[in-house]
Amino acid sequence: MDYVKPAEVLEGMIEAGANKAELGIRQMLIKGFLAGAILACATTLAFAATQQTSLSLVGALIFPVGFVIIILLGLELVTGSFALIPLAVLERKATFRQMLTNFGWVIVGHLLGCALYAVLYGLTTTKMGTDLSHPLVQTLITTSEAKTLGYKEMGLSGLGLVLIKAVLCNWMVTLGAVMAFTSRSTAGKIAAMWLPILIFFAQGFEHAVVNMFVIPAGMLLGAKVSLTDWWVWNQLPVLAGNLLGGITLTGLGLYFSLKKKATPAAPAGSPVETGEGRFVPASVSRAGESV
């Protein structure tokens, strides 16, 4: 059977979080860089599909391809790690400092990867800066402004809205990362991961790594968005919301619902079941008899 039981999934989550916390800086940077660029590429693919079909749901159906590539190749996506590494810290298999180090370096990697793809894609769609008529040029400009200036116009309500949309987004994204643990086959992993990612993208929730590409790309193409607009009205609150959603709704939610209670130790002198239908005194068992 390909299916992995929930209790085993939780063990996999904790182990994965511990492994991520032990990565070196170079690994975190490179894996974060590649993941950022791949997710940015999947974003433009989804935008192209939406533009060609006039159906946003088609773009949402296609977008998870980037997430699947990232997970199957074992790259680093900080939004997924928001649900995994905290559990390793909780189980004392990683330190709080290791967790923050991972988040920080992987985010730097994402920014570099998204920036490179934004430049290359911008040169491609504008024919080396000579033609702004490509339909996705305006899509990126409009989306960049909507994700920043749109919230800015709302003031504090805008910050609240972007935070909520970020929480909901990473609830689904981290579920996508967790669903990869529910199957032992590649096909099963792909199908399981696809579902939550489709849900988040189809509903326009806010994902920090996607925005690391979309907003700068729009700025490069002429969006009237400043660095302050980008970070204050989107990137920082979205990172905070993604972290909150990943830790609480997925990480801790699954941890406390699936974690088994420790079996109480038998009192001294109590008989111990041998597994062969008979009991022996605890002292005998401790002396070396297998139980």
Give 3-state DSSP helix, strand, coil % of the chain, rounded to 5: 75, 0, 25
- Predicted confidence (pLDDT) at residue 278 exceeds the cutoff of 90: no
- Predicted confidence (pLDDT) at residue 288 exceeds the cutoff of 50: no
User: The pTM is what?
Assistant: 0.89
Provide mean pLDDT across the span 223-239: 98
Residue type, 132: L
Paired strand residues for 273: 279
239: pLDDT confidence band, cut at 50, 70 and 90? very high
Collapsing DSSP to helix, strand or coil, 64 comes out as helix
Provide mean pLDDT across the span 139-151: 98
pLDDT digit string, tens, across residues 199-213: 999 999 999 999 999
* pLDDT (0 to 100) of residue 122: 97
